[in-house]
């Protein structure tokens, strides 16, 4: 087998959905592409300097969490009650150690809190006030909820409430949301990253603000290890985005790894089967990025678009939005 030592790969995503070029202003498109490039730059800097896959994906995701463009961190969507409740998880492919936070409302960078859970807690998932108390103890930055307020996101909530729906109706019939708000479409937010470092280790992480108009403390696949995030050095690292309920039911991230481990599927075969056959058959919208131990990667989605990018030891950063 070709050695992957001294090779690195970083793949990122910024969510999937009804992302159509005709609905996107030139300025907005440029802003998305620029933020994806900065995310790749920050992550690659760590990998190039012999840093770990874990630290690289935290850095890459933090850039997207700090941007109002993506449904994570600063750009998180609103719940039915008009709050921002965020989820994140991270997993180390070398040790199978993982950490996650869910339903947090004050943590500026939920991905950093998830990393603290992984590194400094005997638990894997912490939620709500407890997660915030722990994050504060570990030195994570907490902010006032006003930090997450975004007028465009708030208007998305109002529109979803008028139409009595979560802004993620997978039936495809509720596209009346599109066009009412410039470029809202039906974007299934969430940001994520997977990386292979020069030490041969894989890692995966995902962060989200969830669904517009979600109720009753709903949590999606993002903080659930095996559903939205999974990494194992013997197979692959996966970060998912899309209609979370389907990703939970199908344990999508782990399913990719299992297909590789038990059926000897290639990464591409596994991703194509799960995203384009299994989920599509159930009307489950979404996508994923994944990376195997040899440095092969996929960016697979069954929607109109997915914000995504990749950089490797041998190739310059490449970012894309549409099919």
What single string gives the DSSP state of each residue in 216-273? TT---STTSBTTTEEE-TTSEEEEEEE-HHHHHHTTHHHHHHHHHHHH---HHHHHHI
Active site residues: 190
Count of other CB atoms within 10 angstroms of residue 310: 22
Sheet of 286-292, strand order: 229-231, 236-242, 286-292, 297-301
- Which ranges in the chain belong to alpha helices (H)? 26-48, 53-65, 110-120, 128-137, 151-162, 244-249, 252-263, 267-272, 280-281
Q: Chain-centre distance of CA 200, in angstroms?
A: 22
CA distance 10 to 294: 13
CA nearest 276: which of 299, 257, 296? 299
Are 87 and 210 a contacting pair, CB within 8 Å? yes
Are 231 and 203 a contacting pair, CB within 8 Å? yes
Rounded to a whole number, what is the distance in angstroms from the first to the last CA of the chain?
32
CA distance 224 to 18: 25
CA distance 232 to 209: 26
Burial (CB count within 10 angstroms: exposed 0-12, middle 13-18, buried 19+), residue 94: middle
CA nearest 310: which of 72, 88, 37? 37
Mapped onto helix, strand or coil, the DSSP state of residue 292 is strand
CA nearest 135: which of 148, 121, 149? 121
CA distance 190 to 88: 9
Q: pLDDT tens string for the chain (323 positions)?
A: 445 678 999 999 999 987 888 888 999 999 999 999 999 999 999 999 999 999 999 999 999 999 999 999 999 999 999 999 999 999 999 999 999 999 999 999 999 999 999 999 999 999 999 999 999 999 999 999 999 999 999 999 999 999 887 665 333 333 333 333 333 445 667 999 999 999 999 999 999 999 999 999 999 999 999 999 999 999 999 999 999 999 999 999 999 999 999 999 999 999 999 999 999 999 999 999 999 999 999 999 999 999 999 999 999 999 999 98
Are 273 and 300 a contacting pair, CB within 8 Å? no
């Amino acid at each position: 087998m070709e050695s992957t030592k001294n090779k690195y790969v970083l793949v990122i995503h910024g969510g999937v959905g009804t992302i159509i070029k005709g609905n996107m202003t030139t300025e907005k498109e440029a802003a998305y592409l620029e933020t994806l490039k900065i995310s790749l730059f920050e992550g690659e800097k760590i990998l190039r300097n012999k840093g770990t896959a874990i630290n690289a994906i935290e850095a890459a995701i933090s850039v997207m969490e700090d941007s109002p463009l993506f449904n994570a961190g600063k750009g998180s969507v609103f719940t039915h009650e008009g709050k921002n409740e965020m989820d994140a998880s991270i997993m180390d492919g070398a040790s199978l150690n993982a950490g996650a936070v869910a339903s947090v409302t004050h943590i500026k960078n939920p991905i950093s809190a998830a990393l603290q859970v992984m590194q400094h807690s005997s638990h894997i998932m912490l939620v709500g006030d407890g997660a915030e108390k722990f994050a504060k103890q570990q030195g994570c930055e907490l902010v006032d909820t006003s930090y997450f307020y975004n007028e465009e996101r708030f208007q998305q909530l109002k529109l979803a409430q008028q139409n009595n729906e979560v802004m993620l109706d997978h039936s495809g019939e509720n596209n009346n949301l599109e066009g009412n708000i410039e470029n809202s479409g039906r974007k299934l937010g969430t940001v994520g990253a997977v990386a292979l470092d020069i030490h041969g280790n894989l890692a995966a992480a995902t962060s989200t603000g969830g669904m517009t108009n979600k109720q009753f403390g709903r949590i999606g696949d993002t903080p659930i290890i095996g559903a939205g995030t999974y990494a194992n050095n013997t197979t692959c690292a996966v970060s998912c985005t899309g209609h979370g309920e389907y990703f939970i039911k199908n344990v999508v991230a782990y399913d990719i790894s299992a297909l590789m481990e038990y059926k000897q599927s290639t990464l591409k075969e596994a991703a194509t089967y799960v995203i384009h056959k299994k989920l599509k058959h159930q009307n489950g919208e979404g996508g994923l990025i994944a990376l195997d131990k040899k440095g092969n990667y996929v960016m697979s989605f069954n929607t109109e678009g997915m914000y995504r990018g990749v950089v490797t030891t041998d190739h310059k950063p490449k970012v894309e939005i549409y099919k």
